[in-house]
Structure 1
């Protein structure tokens, strides 16, 4: 027998008008959605929940996602959300918003979707809410394309879900889902004096942004879709209609998420890099996707590049994988050639009108110190990286036409901090070329955040911290792809919130899109992704991770600054996580994550505006947005 699984009900508040191509009908004038440029008389709350899938006229409705036009979902079955539009003009600038009634998808014929009757308003953003609910019947795990069956239903935001009897015609659910023991959400009543108080006088780090990586695998999956579907996917990620990613990590040559191993300079002994060339993976895949993303994005995109390995003729072990570093010593011809490799990459991309905000000194330099490491890598100790930057890479960037490109060190697990930063940044020459420190999340459980990120920030406050890679399904004991995996979205939000509250300036996901297996790639290192593509049906699925990311990327634009948020008392029986930012347009953003099985009541106080009472539903993420008086 496979794993047991659950179905979930929904009281969802839907995301942006264009994201689902409007699963909800257009709001009336009295129910206009709150927007990014929020007038002082508007306020909004955005909350995410999850719902119960159902069968549409005998056609499969696959795991949870968002219903939209063909290309995102396709005819004959798709992820679906039922939802509400929320947002009303209020007499006071900070009062709870009321939601319109739930909207059910059509069920006649094959799977269909709703389209707004009124013209779309690109500058507006509709509040939304996702939350797992009570378990229903479950059966043997199977491939999700075989379909779903459950009773259709909706509930008001605070209505208790009911546990239906096992369905006689229950069909297999996706892999990786397991039942939770609670049948109903539990309301946790908190004393009235438990509230969050905003303090904009306390200022912390400014945000660089949020985004993902255009790997070879991501590019293959995006280009496997029709032109219309490709456009829809990129608009969902980058446009004002979507969640507005503004950070994009671009690998320099191949990674474990490529279908072959290659570099740009494989000619033996080519120290002058006369035979340096981009590959088809760049010119036909990654570059067109980056150009298309830039074309649909309103916010400027910040690209940053990371190399996984040097050409094998530069390496001590003569292989792209396994334990090996650069031959020779910093300052010699091998290190000069490797530094020049960075410049040539930037030169070639500039010919395609793609300029980079930053480069990292190398992806996971500690991996190249591991014997039999299975993926592309290039080993560096902190001392080696320090000297390479001081003598080779730093001067190469400074003396090129790319002197504006910022340099990020580490690009590896935060368990290496603060030691790595102390070794590299205490050298004044190396430090003069460096702007920030990159971190990955895979070993966070070994590295308490207050003993790594916070200490590093206080030791080196003039260097930004940036999360440069994260993915779920990467541990050997985990299922690779879990369609509709709510817990994986919660892991993303938990990581982002804790990072932001410890001076991190941005957060970058790994692959923008993968297939149903979690690839393709040469290494068979399959993982999950916020967007899963099924090219055989010309569809893609927006996972809960996508919407968790959107609570940050959409509402906390570049230039936003974290501000103080005081808690009146510790809530020992609940697990609220939260952060607050003041945006460049003067709006305040408060994100609240509740990973507990209980609904939590709390208050929000802004001394300049007022006070409201709110509820964080169990297993939910919420975003509150309001305008402060000038």
Structure 2
């Protein structure tokens, strides 16, 4: 009998929570909470939302105690407990329209998927991208290698090939990216919005001769290196189009400021705000617009100086940011950014836990990391972020592979030796948003009768007229009674108490 063959043969710490159509086969690794174990013969399924009828709210709950997107129904009343903390949804005050949620198709993701049987590969993709799964609608695709590859490579490593005569996709694209991107596109019924991000130009275009480490493009900003680098983008999109994959957008450069460090340990390239502005204005924007394939691509970047230049801004559709300095910079700066540039969407394009030196990498069953994800989504969206994109959606037991050992954690961890994988609490935390807040939903005002630092929430009006409220209880104890209602329907009040360390999604009419 193969290891991991039957879910019933899990460790003695395994138990089953029987409230979903196929309950979580939970396993406790001793890290504070549980994971849901999936193998070749069994994997849990989260119950569907189902019909939302007047006077009844559908509730999904996850908690440190082991609940995982468990479905229940609340019936409304015409009043609330006197001591209740009251959340009131005001759909008359509308903010940003949501673009959706997603994750990145890195080499590491593909490498871990191919280590599993094909049926399990398909299962993971379905749990992320199908309408009955998390319903992801955004995918990030690195242009060539990143630290989450097994080595450094570009699409043309022939020095001085400015015309890209030797440009070719690599084995990594054909083995680890294209097959899974294609399946994800099918699962989303062709509604997957893909955007590309480069980490570095080929090494021969930088002073060091390597993609690894800092440095900017060689030569004058109007010279052949800059012109050729802009055309590299077009070549990339043409190559993927030839494989049946088209893109929605791109970022100009992954974390360009890291390129100021010549000893940066993995692929990067430096652009100052002024350099990026001029590159977009003089080279990249015109190159993309000149091609019928790329003329409508959305370009987005974090360098706001670009938006102050009308000639550069005409090529930009949105603003991108990562979460790695959230501990130092409050999310309210995003509201300031929106106020200054209200015509540009804001997209959170990368997040992961365990990215700091010295942090334990995958921690199986860690609830704190799920809470970090939920907190970040709420804070970002409350400050005008329209979409949220995770980093690797699958990694191995060490948090890789990663060719420079920059390993991190992930919502799904693959144990290829046991032919099983583990759905982390982070996976369920993201599902509390992505399953119930679809593209086209609008964030609406959520008023609370009294501030409580342990509780956070955000509200949405969905296109079908239902409302979604997501609440996070960071406290280690039960919340006081909470009510949720719509300001236009005071007779329909939904009362609930949030258990310690929990996330709750409430959908009602």
Counterpart pick for 1:466 among 347, 353, 357: 347
Partner of 1:42: none
1:123-522 equivalences under 5 Å are 128-133=60-65, 191-192=82-83, 194-298=85-189, 300-401=191-292, 402-410=294-302, 420-421=303-304, 423-450=305-332, 452-522=333-403
Q: Deviations over 1:531-570 (max 9, x none)?
A: 1111122211111111111111111011111011111222
Partner of 2:177, secondary structure, is helix
Q: Structure 2 CA distance, aligned partners of 1:449 and 1:190?
A: 33
Change (3 A) 1:192 1:434: same
Q: Structure 1 CA distance, aligned partners of 2:220 and 2:464?
A: 50
For the Cα contact (< 8 Å) 2:258–2:268, is it kept in 1?
yes
Matched, 1:569 2:450: yes
Shift of residue 301 of structure 1? 0.5
For the pair shown, the structure with the greater C-alpha radius of gyration is: 1
Shift of residue 296 of structure 1? 2.2
Change (3 A) 1:518 1:72: farther
For the Cα contact (< 8 Å) 1:13–1:128, is it kept in 2?
no
Shift of residue 198 of structure 1? 0.9
Unaligned 5+ segments in structure 2 are: 1-11, 73-79
Q: Structure 1 CA distance, aligned partners of 2:222 and 2:339?
A: 32
Shift of residue 231 of structure 1? 1.0
Partner of 1:591, secondary structure, is strand
Q: Deviations over 1:144-185 (max 9, x none)?
A: xxxxxxxxxxx999xxxxxxxxxxxxxxxxxxxxxxxxxxxx
Partner of 1:603: 483
Partner of 1:211, secondary structure, is strand
For the Cα contact (< 8 Å) 2:251–2:301, is it kept in 1?
yes
Partner of 2:284, secondary structure, is helix
Shift of residue 86 of structure 1? 10
For the Cα contact (< 8 Å) 1:312–1:318, is it kept in 2?
yes
TM-score by length of 2: 0.89
For the Cα contact (< 8 Å) 2:196–2:250, is it kept in 1?
yes
Partner of 1:619: 501
Partner of 2:61, secondary structure, is coil
Matched, 1:70 2:31: no
Shift of residue 298 of structure 1? 3.9
Q: Deviations over 1:541-600 (max 9, x none)?
A: 1111111111111110111110111112223xx511100111112211110011111211
Partner of 1:93: 54
Tell me whether 227-236 or 62-71 shows the greater mean CA deviation. Answer: 62-71
Q: Deviations over 1:434-474 (max 9, x none)?
A: 01111111111111221x21111100011111000011111
Change (3 A) 1:131 1:453: same
Q: Deviations over 1:300-348 (max 9, x none)?
A: 1110000000011111232212220011233321111000000000000
Partner of 1:580: 459
TM-score by length of 1: 0.72
Q: Deviations over 1:201-253 (max 9, x none)?
A: 10101111101111001000011110111111111111122111111100000
Partner of 1:616, secondary structure, is coil
Root-mean-square deviation (CA, aligned residues, Å) is 2.9
Greater RCO, CA 8 A, separation 6+: 2
Partner of 2:4: none
Q: Deviations over 1:122-165 (max 9, x none)?
A: xxxxx54221239xxxxxxxxxxxxxxxxxxxx999xxxxxxxx
Q: Deviations over 1:4-28 (max 9, x none)?
A: xxx999996856x4xxxx128xxxx
Q: Structure 1 CA distance, aligned partners of 2:501 and 2:13?
A: 12
Partner of 1:39: none
Q: Structure 1 CA distance, aligned partners of 2:51 and 2:168?
A: 57
Partner of 2:301, secondary structure, is strand
Partner of 1:529: 410
